[in-house]
Structure 1
Amino acid sequence: MTNYRLGVLAGDGIGPEIVSATVHVFKTAAQKAGVDINWIDLPMGWEGIKQYNDPLPEETKEALKETHGWILGPHDSAAYPPEHKVKLNPSGALRHSLDLYANVRPAKTMPGIKSVVGEADLVIYRENTEGFYADRNMYSGHGEWQITEDVVVTSGVFTRKAAERIAHAAFKMAMQRRKKVTIVHKANVLRLSTGLFLRVCREVAEQYPEVTVDDYHIDAMAAHLVRRAKDFDIIVTENMYGDILSDLAGELVGSLGLAPSINSNDNLAMAQAAHGSAPDIAGLNIGNPTGIMLSTVMLMDWLAERHNDPKLKEMGQLVEQGLYQSLESGVKTKDLGGSASTSDFAEAISERISQAVLR
C-alpha cells in the first residue's frame, strides 16, 4: 500500500478553520477506505511571513516537491505588508512557478442548496498560465505599463502550446462524461489572440470524433449560462474568461463559497476553493468548508487516476456522499441559513463517513 504525502497550507482568515475541518473528514475517510496518508503542515500566508518573512517560503515550495499533492487554503494578500504586496500572491506564485496550467472548476447543483438555474452539472477548464492576466503571462516582470499618468497599456499572451494542452485536458474529461465541449472565446474582435485559441481547440477536437463541439463568444456565453446552464457539459476557455465564467457558474448553482477547484499539470495537483479568506469572520468557527472539501475530493480523484488507486477515489466518494447527506438533512453553516459551526459541520460529515457501508 502506498503512503501518500499530502501538503497542508492552511492560509489566512478562515483558512486554518476550514482546512482543519477538511483534514479531519479526510482522515476519517482514509481510515474507512484503508488509505495511508501523511498530512504535512507547511507555512503559507501570514504564517510564512511570521516564520520566514515570506508568504510563500522557499522551504514550503521545496517541501511541496516531495508531496503527491496539496491543499491550499485561502490567502489575504491584500493585507500583507507593502514589500509582499508587490509579489505574486501565494496562489499565483504556485500556479506560475510550477506551471499548473489547468484550473478545473465544476459547477453542480447540490442537495439542500437552492440553485438559481435549476439542475446543472458542468465543468469549466480554464487555461491557467497566459491570457490577459499580467501576473501570469511574463517570464520576468509584469505585463502592464503606465505610459503616462493617464495611459496604461497591458499585454495578453496566447500560445499554441497552452491552448493545446488545456484543450486535451478538457476533451479527455468530456470522454468520461457526456461527450460535449463548448469553446469560449472572442474571436470576432480579438481575432489573432482568442482566434488562435479557438482554432487550436478546434484542431484538437478532430482527435476526439465522439465529442460534440460548439463555441460561443464570452458575452453570449455568460447569458447562456444564466438561461440554460443545464445544457453544458465541459467548457474550455482562456484564463480571464474562465475566471469570470467559473465565478458566475458557482454562484448560479448555489454560492461561490461552495465552489471547488483544482490546479494541475501532468504531474502535480493543488486543491483550492474558489472563495477568499473572509477575514471578517476569521476565528469565529462559522466559515463554510464545503468548497475546500470538494476541492480535496477533486484532488483525490486526480491522484486516484494518476496512481491507479481506486481507494483514493473511494475516499473522495465517502466525503462527497457524507457532505451531501449532511446538507440534505439540514446541517448547514450560517451562510447557508443553518446554525452549524465549521467544526460541527465537519463532525456531522465524519459521522456519516464512519457509518457508511463500503461497496
Structure 2
Amino acid sequence: MEGMAHIQLGVLHGDGIGKEVVPAAVRVVDAAVSAADAGTIEWVELPFGRSAIESHGNPFPDETENALADLPGWVLGPHDNAAYPPEFRAETAPGGKIRKRYGLFANIRPAAALPGVRAMRDDIDVVIVRENTEGFYSDRNMFIGSGEFMPTRDVAMAVGVVTRQACERIAHVACQIAVTRRKRITIVHKSNVLPLTMGLFLETCREVAKQYPSLSVDDEHVDAMAAHLVRGGDFDVVVTENMFGDILSDLAGELSGSLGMAASLNASETQAMAQAAHGAAPSIAGKNRANPTAMFLSAAMLLEWLAQRQHNRHLQGAAVRIRRAVAGTLAGGVATADIGGLASTSEFTETVLARVIRRG
C-alpha cells in the first residue's frame, strides 16, 4: 500500500566485522526511510552466531528461528562458523539453516563497477541469479541428512539435486529482473558433461524464458562464462545453479572492485534476507577497517524487494537514496582500504549518512 509504512525487520549481527557493518547499515536504512517519508522500521534484534552460542548454547537458537518466521525480512551479518566450537563446526552453517528453513530459493547478486573505485572490469554491470536450494551443496539438497557421505574411509561422494520446479521458479525470477534491465538473459550450465542434471536446468530455463518474448536468451558453459567475465564479455542477467552461481558471483564481485562491495539478497515469495556476499573477516574485526558498502547495498535491495511487494514508491525512494549516497561517496574519493582508500568504517558510514539525508 502506498504511503507511510511501519515495518518490522530482523537484525542479526553475526560474527567478526558483522558487528560493525550491520549496525552501520541499520543507521543508513533508518536515515533513508525517514528522508524518503517512507515511515519507520522497527528493528527486532535476534541472537545469532558466536555470541548466541555463549548466551543460548546455539548459533541459531529457537528464539531466533521462531521470530524470523513472523517477519517479512531481515539483515544478516556474516558468520564465522569455522571458528565455532567443534560440535557446531560439524553442523550445517547457520546461514544455510536459515536459507533452508525459510525457503529462500533465489540468491540475487548484482556486480557493477562504480565511479571512483579501481575495478578490474570498469564496464561490468551484471546480475547473477543463483538457485539457492539444490545443486551440489550438501547443506541444502536433502530433506534429512547431508548430501555428502563416505561409503568407505577412502571414498567420498556427493549428491547433486536438480528439480524442474526449482529451475522454473529461479528462471522466472531471473526473467523478471531482465525485463527491468537490458532485456538479456544468459543461462549458465555444464550440460556437456552433466547432461541429465544440467540438461534439465538448461531445458527448463529455456522453456520459462519463452514466456518473456521481450528477452534475448542465450547460454554458456560455466567455464567459458568465467573466462568471458574476466575478458570483458557483455552480460546482463545470468541465471545458474547453486555452486556455479556462488563461484561466478564472487568472481564478478572482485572484478567490480572488491567483495566488500558485493551485495546479495536471498528471497522467497514472501520473505527476504539482506546478506553481503563477503565473510566475517576476523583478521580486521574490531579495527574499524571493514568496508560496509556490501551491507548497505544489500539492505537497499531488501527495501526495494519490500517496495515491490507493497507497491510503495517511498520505500523504493529510500533504496534509491542509499544507492546514490554510496555511489556519490565513492565517486567523491571516500573509500575504505580494500578499495584503495583511507577511510575507516565509521568515516565512510558518516559520509554516506550525510548524503542520504540531504539527497533530494
TM category, shorter: over 0.9
Alignment correspondent of 1:215: 219
User: 2:213 & 2:319 partners in 1: Cα distance?
Assistant: 31
User: 1:68 & 1:131 partners in 2: Cα distance?
Assistant: 26
2:332 aligned with 1:329, yes or no?
Answer: yes
Structure 2, unpaired ranges of 5+: none
The correspondence for 1:199, drawn from 180, 203, 208, is 203
* Residues 248-290 of structure 1: CA deviation (Å, up to 9, x unaligned): 1111111112100000010000000000001111111111100
Counterparts of 1:46-65 in structure 2, within 5 Å, are: 46-65=50-69
The correspondence for 2:346, drawn from 335, 343, 348, is 343
Corresponding residue pairs, total: 356
Give the SS at the match of 1:139. coil
Contact 2:12–2:48 (CA<8 Å) still a contact in 1? yes
Alignment correspondent of 1:79: 83
Give the SS at the match of 1:214. strand
Structure 1, unpaired ranges of 5+: none
User: 2:321 & 2:214 partners in 1: Cα distance?
Assistant: 32
Alignment correspondent of 2:257: 254
Give the SS at the match of 2:232. helix
Q: State the Cα distance separating 1:39 from its structure 2 match.
A: 1.2
Give the SS at the match of 1:12. coil
CA RMSD, 1 decimal: 1.0
Higher deviation after alignment, 100-109 or 315-324: 315-324
User: 1:334 & 1:188 partners in 2: Cα distance?
Assistant: 42
* Residues 288-309 of structure 1: CA deviation (Å, up to 9, x unaligned): 1001110011111100001111
User: 2:288 & 2:121 partners in 1: Cα distance?
Assistant: 30
User: 2:207 & 2:358 partners in 1: Cα distance?
Assistant: 49
Give the counterpart letter for 1:87 in structure 2. E
Q: TM-score, normalised by structure 1?
A: 0.97
Counterparts of 1:274-285 in structure 2, within 5 Å, are: 274-285=277-288
The correspondence for 2:122, drawn from 108, 118, 123, is 118
Give the SS at the match of 2:82. helix
User: 1:321 & 1:144 partners in 2: Cα distance?
Assistant: 44
User: 2:94 & 2:149 partners in 1: Cα distance?
Assistant: 23
Q: State the Cα distance separating 1:29 from its structure 2 match.
A: 1.1
Q: State the Cα distance separating 1:334 from its structure 2 match.
A: 2.0
2:157 aligned with 1:177, yes or no?
Answer: no
Counterparts of 1:1-359 in structure 2, within 5 Å, are: 1-34=4-37, 35-229=39-233, 231-357=234-360
Contact 2:257–2:339 (CA<8 Å) still a contact in 1? no
Q: State the Cα distance separating 1:118 from its structure 2 match.
A: 2.3
Query: Identity over the aligned pairs, expressed in percent?
Result: 53
User: 2:197 & 2:357 partners in 1: Cα distance?
Assistant: 51
